[in-house]
Amino acid sequence: EAGVAQSPRYKIIEKRQSVAFWCNPISGHATLYWYQQILGQGPKLLIQFQNNGVVDDSQLPKDRFSAERLKGVDSTLKIQPAKLEDSAVYLCASSWGNQPQHFGDGTRLSIL
């Protein structure tokens, strides 16, 4: 089966600019997750969707981060405006039921 697809793979922006990431989950996976992985740390959940509804966004910095999954399939994560501390890899994952999560390759974001 095709895996979780993410784009772009790399992004470099200046602080205070905006950026958007895209994720296409595995076909049929109702649950979609966005994680932030800072260098040397484990992934930290930002937001979890069940179909097109938000299940958990308790760790999402809502003053600058937003995410949507309008049709319950693809999802976008946006940062506006970006700060230096947002430099990280942004991972998307998907799952079905209580089955394990499958991760995409991530987007490496560098803020100058």
Partner 1 sequence: GENVEQHPSTLSVQEGDSAVIKCTYSDSASNYFPWYKQELGKRPQLIIDIRSNVGEKKDQRIAVTLNKTAKHFSLHITETQPEDSAVYFCAATPRYSSASKIIFGSGTRLSIRP
- Kindly list the residues in this chain that would bind partner 1 in the complex (CB under 8 A): 4, 31, 40-45, 48, 50, 55-56, 91, 95, 97-98, 100-106
- How far is C-alpha 75 from the chain's CA centre? 8
Q: Least CB distance from residue 7 to partner 1, whole Å?
A: 14
Q: Say which amino acid occupies 61.
A: P
Q: Encoding tokens for residue 3?
A: 């895996």
Cβ closest to partner 1, residue 52 vs residue 95: 95
CB 106 within 8 A of CB 38: no
Q: Least CB distance from residue 103 to partner 1, whole Å?
A: 4
